[in-house]
Structure 1
């Protein structure tokens, strides 16, 4: 369970690996080869066997890809990773700002027309390849077996652990009811589902195939009858056979494409998550398709009352661990002996002491000083630095509990803050409060709310390069769609959805600030004098003290001050009975009125 702090990438091995890859490209007659951070299931995270991008380039971020040409190899990353990529990749790789620079434009700049571009059709969605085909009409796109696999001599084996059942007391709905309910909404005779968390939710099963995410690697075909064909590795589903029953047929994963080619159309596919090879198999078999979103995405995002109740219990339990950790940190950090790794280890110990932790929900981010400005920083033995006085410490972490998944970020000052620390911390906090307090009509999406979190920073001429919030699963992936709070999120928010609320501010080479609570969408209570339209609002799930030393009260409105004081009072009410005397005293002081 404990986080591994060994140096996770080996950029010094990048040059010979790149040379070997180019030799394979030449042998295959390819002028380019694309290496995404993806697996055949198209989830956000990958197993060690599928970490091809990190193995080749040294880049360990959770999003990006590399385009290898004979004379240049571009590593494409978005704003979250631009500092990180420069510290991780060898000079033989060229970081490229994406999506500002599109792959098609970059290819056209570096390769002449008619050049051949190779790709693994399992690792790109049908939509990706459709878009590339349109944008690179003067080039040849060729599906090939993965070239990385031919040169990766010690490539890890595929995950083989058995699946487990997710009990009804946590799921809140049987998989039989889910299958029938989702099948009734299909626009076709069957639907192909490739996302691991969708399959986990639909069948009430969990797995350990992806580190920190309790999902099973499998493929599924949901038929209009409600029956499901489940394709998994040998023996992986045997342990849940009784749980699944007779209407879920277990089959070997090696027979998946064969089964796809034998379906009667039309078949519903999500081109945004379906691997290109699946869409190509259907096309080659002349099977009609209906392009619709994964049918599990929205139902999974809208949590039922059992899941919401479980989320509240998990967050209260996790908050106890966080408060014990923060009290410990307040005592130990000023002594000047802590490192970033010490912080990570201590926090995990406090979570383990709950006696309910199944795993952490992602690799803990513990960024001291300038490392806090690396949005998705992952400390290892090479990068580990001291937690120094006068610096900000950004800790972003979470836990996987059988009743819920948590994700929380707190930024803490060690010693005395500067006026600049307090100014930007308060602006970030104001943005978080604005989202927490908002009421909005039904039909509003995250893209309509994103500016609320950014407005205090915008007034100071600042911004941040990540979304304000993402969906969160129920003992599933800590990043869950389709809802979010960002400029790109056009999914209407519905009661039962859980999201993060995490604005931030980052100054490269100096510090980073992020404050994150999880929130859930609820019907808003009626206000006196309001019109009759239905309104929604957010309930907060996360109750952990904010660092009052970093709050500049002169910047706050009365409503913001009242919100903070009420939040801290609620935190004491919820957590004080669960704490020992010393920690309770620390909490009471940390939550004192402004």
Structure 2
């Protein structure tokens, strides 16, 4: 069926359920950012493939909300569907709620599939709906009535993730979590976040593309823990190890029943941001809603993880050296499709030890495609790269010993003065954030301005956050910390802490022309200038393009930082290179602005 036909069939189902509007989010029952094919409901009914965005369907109108990273993509993918794009002013803000409540008449009914909404999301929705007596109705599986040949649930097999890499046993982690439970005076802690379960139990799988997690829930009690997972997904040896750690198994679909039989005298703690609304009505136990116990613990990497993070950056830098050397040589002789470049990048990473896949689909944006922030090249529609113009490449790898995420922008041929100005302003922002020293307790929204101030002074800006947390062989976008323009998200409101790893990725995008982004990962460390301050250490190791820099716009301090960074890069990568790749790296790491 076409998108219009799917929406028509969906409206028939909505009418039979007695709902005036249906909200379709992009997440799964675990509030995952990226989801398995089975839960790409919003994509099925809209055609929009971006990772962030929400669809609202009414009897005579359909609207999709997404943020500026996806405006160009959404306009293209929604064309001809009859769906109207509503441009979010603030990334991840629930701006659809106010619009929907203003649009619907009094005592209307909004349908939701309860499993796809957290108790926090429903509470926010109800707070607005109550003003007009609008009813929220659970219409679980309404999408399945319309979605023909819906993909099955993911079925990859879980495996034990060796403590050699992650540095802490599942027994130690469970003890740490139980200590926090004791502080909160709760008997049970229910965990929905797939990455949190994977971290806590030291297990991995590939139930979501690019993210090594397994479809499951976990109930941690004072003396035992229960993992809700389909039995065949856990090999016997892993079952034995989990049992030895006090973890028993129950079926994934038995989780609702298990929660409902917890006695009323017990207390159960949940993360209000990912505990499914579908579980709440049947609970007898006293429900304590808060924020994740695991998230802030997981965000601070231990010494083993930090050591591996540093070594994996060397491997990733070597792979990228092979790749960019190949790219620059090849484009001199023939044109290249964006998809061929993406495939070649994956190939060079795959040659590195312990590589398990990309941490997200590579973004290879040539010229105007680089201005589409989360662009993804498709074989039939991608651009052809010639030996002239700007190219933005944002990519990352999943290795057993760490996760990487890096963006570099290059130019074939001679860049224009305007391109060099824009690139230099972005670079200055990257360096300003990288070199900041700040008091403990400083949040992401306070630091975000450092990356933007040089662009702002030129009347320019970019429409996405400046950075996100990064997991260790887990989610490439890991909460809570990061850098954002508002406190709507955790990235803006969370304080930076020593041991966390975050991306630093300011950019500039000229619609219809080119995109620029420069991204390194940074480890938050104690500041050497004051024991009550923190700072950052750049752990990504790969040259930043210097041919695009207008040195007249750079300060002596910025030039010195860049030259020192390139010395580090060459010292780290060159011992593993030889011949033309080593010469290529030497050339890219030459000092600039030095007479």
Establish whether TM, by shorter chain, passes 0.5: yes
Among 346, 351, 354, the alignment partner of 2:352 is 354
Alignment of 1:146 onto 2:141: yes
Q: Which runs of 5+ in 1 are unaligned?
A: 1-11
Hey, what does 2:570 align to over in structure 1?
572
Alignment of 1:183 onto 2:178: yes
Hey, what does 2:162 align to over in structure 1?
167
Aligned residue pairs total 574
Hey, what does 2:255 align to over in structure 1?
256
Hey, what does 1:469 align to over in structure 2?
467
CA contact (8 A) 1:472 1:499 kept: yes
Alignment of 1:546 onto 2:536: no
Q: Give the Cα–Cα distance (whole angstroms) in 2 for the partners of residues 68 and 297 of structure 1.
A: 34
Q: Report how far residue 356 of structure 1 moved.
A: 2.5
Q: Give the Cα–Cα distance (whole angstroms) in 1 for the partners of residues 157 and 545 of structure 2.
A: 43
Q: Give the Cα–Cα distance (whole angstroms) in 2 for the partners of residues 180 and 108 of structure 1.
A: 45
CA contact (8 A) 1:237 1:250 kept: no
Hey, what does 1:458 align to over in structure 2?
456
Hey, what does 1:312 align to over in structure 2?
310
Q: Which moved more, 1:505-514 or 1:383-392?
A: 383-392
Q: Report how far residue 90 of structure 1 moved.
A: 3.5
Hey, what does 1:272 align to over in structure 2?
273
Hey, what does 2:120 align to over in structure 1?
127
Q: Give the Cα–Cα distance (whole angstroms) in 2 for the partners of residues 99 and 41 of structure 1.
A: 26
Q: Which moved more, 1:321-330 or 1:197-206?
A: 321-330
Q: Which runs of 5+ in 2 are unaligned?
A: none
Q: Give the Cα–Cα distance (whole angstroms) in 2 for the partners of residues 441 and 533 of structure 1.
A: 9
Measured against aligned partners, the alpha-carbon deviations of 1:206-260 in whole angstroms (never above 9, x if no partner) come to 01100100011100111133x2110012321344212212410111011101111
Q: Report how far residue 279 of structure 1 moved.
A: 2.8
Q: Give the Cα–Cα distance (whole angstroms) in 2 for the partners of residues 89 and 575 of structure 1.
A: 44
Hey, what does 2:85 align to over in structure 1?
95
Among 301, 322, 331, the alignment partner of 1:333 is 331
Q: Report how far residue 87 of structure 1 moved.
A: 0.7
SS in 1 for 2:447: helix
Q: Report how far residue 18 of structure 1 moved.
A: 0.8
CA contact (8 A) 2:112 2:137 kept: yes
CA contact (8 A) 2:313 2:539 kept: yes
CA contact (8 A) 1:192 1:220 kept: yes
SS in 2 for 1:521: strand
Q: Report how far residue 336 of structure 1 moved.
A: 4.5
Measured against aligned partners, the alpha-carbon deviations of 1:96-155 in whole angstroms (never above 9, x if no partner) come to 112568223322343222111100010011111111111111211101122211111111
Measured against aligned partners, the alpha-carbon deviations of 1:162-181 in whole angstroms (never above 9, x if no partner) come to 11111010110100010011
SS in 1 for 2:442: coil
Q: Report how far residue 319 of structure 1 moved.
A: 0.5
Q: Report how far residue 534 of structure 1 moved.
A: 2.1
CA contact (8 A) 1:429 1:515 kept: yes
Superposition map of 1:279-428 within 5 A: 279-282=280-283, 285=284, 287-428=285-426
Q: Give the Cα–Cα distance (whole angstroms) in 2 for the partners of residues 558 and 249 of structure 1.
A: 60
Among 410, 429, 435, the alignment partner of 2:427 is 429
Q: Report how far residue 533 of structure 1 moved.
A: 4.3
Q: Report how far residue 342 of structure 1 moved.
A: 1.4
Q: In the superposition, relative to structure 1, how do residues 21 and 90 fare at CA in structure 2: closer, same or farther (>3 Å)?
A: farther
Measured against aligned partners, the alpha-carbon deviations of 1:479-498 in whole angstroms (never above 9, x if no partner) come to 00011111322222111100
Among 559, 562, 570, the alignment partner of 2:560 is 562
TM-score, normalised to structure 1, is 0.94
Hey, what does 1:116 align to over in structure 2?
109
SS in 2 for 1:294: coil
Q: Which moved more, 1:105-114 or 1:400-409?
A: 105-114
CA contact (8 A) 2:231 2:249 kept: no
TM-score, normalised to structure 2, is 0.94
CA contact (8 A) 1:184 1:224 kept: no
Superposition map of 1:469-548 within 5 A: 469-487=467-485, 488=487, 489-525=492-528, 527=529, 533-548=531-546
Hey, what does 1:49 align to over in structure 2?
38
SS in 2 for 1:62: coil
Q: Give the Cα–Cα distance (whole angstroms) in 1 for the partners of residues 7 and 314 of structure 2.
A: 48
Alignment of 1:235 onto 2:232: yes
